[in-house]
Amino acid sequence: MRRLLGCLAFVALAACPTYDRYDKLADQKGMLSADQFAAYGPEQAQKIAIGRALGQAYDGMSTADFAAQMGVAVAYAKTMPDVVDVRADTLAYFLTVQFKSGWRAFVLPISDGKAPGDTPGLPRATS
């Protein structure tokens, strides 16, 4: 009986999901490459650059680290010429960015090792 309860406890604990979603969100495996998506147009390039800024700013899992990461990405997004509004989601790792054309996009972190400014097709940032 004890062995059965021990096995059930082990199975129950092993079935608990991890709440570390960041690695899954930042992983680009199986997706269209960021540079290929950026080639679709200037707004797409800006979205990729903002995602790279969000990915580069990652420094840990604490609340303070998360706030700093979002602050860096929001500040970078506001320098983009076509960005009208940017909002950080307080419960997840993404930004909602609205462009002049009316396109509203969710921006996830992109951790591909490239600097945001190296994104192809990126228009000049405003100060």
Highest-confidence range of 86-95, 103-112, 117-126, by mean pLDDT? 103-112
Rounded Cα distance between 48 and 27, Å, is 14
**Residue 77, CB half-sphere, CA atoms under 13 Å: how many?**
33
Token pair recorded at residue 1: 């009986």
- Taking CA atoms, 18 is separated from 13, 50, 71, 104, in Å, by 11, 27, 26, 30
Token pair recorded at residue 35: 């540079």
Q: Is the pLDDT of residue 125 over 90?
A: no
Q: What is the pTM of this model?
A: 0.79
Rounded Cα distance between 49 and 35, Å, is 10
Position 123: which residue type? P
**What is the per-residue pLDDT across 75-105, written as a single tens digit (0 to 9) for each?**
999 999 999 999 998 778 889 999 999 999 9
Domain boundaries in the chain? 20-118
- Taking CA atoms, 48 is separated from 11, 55, 57, 126, in Å, by 41, 10, 14, 17
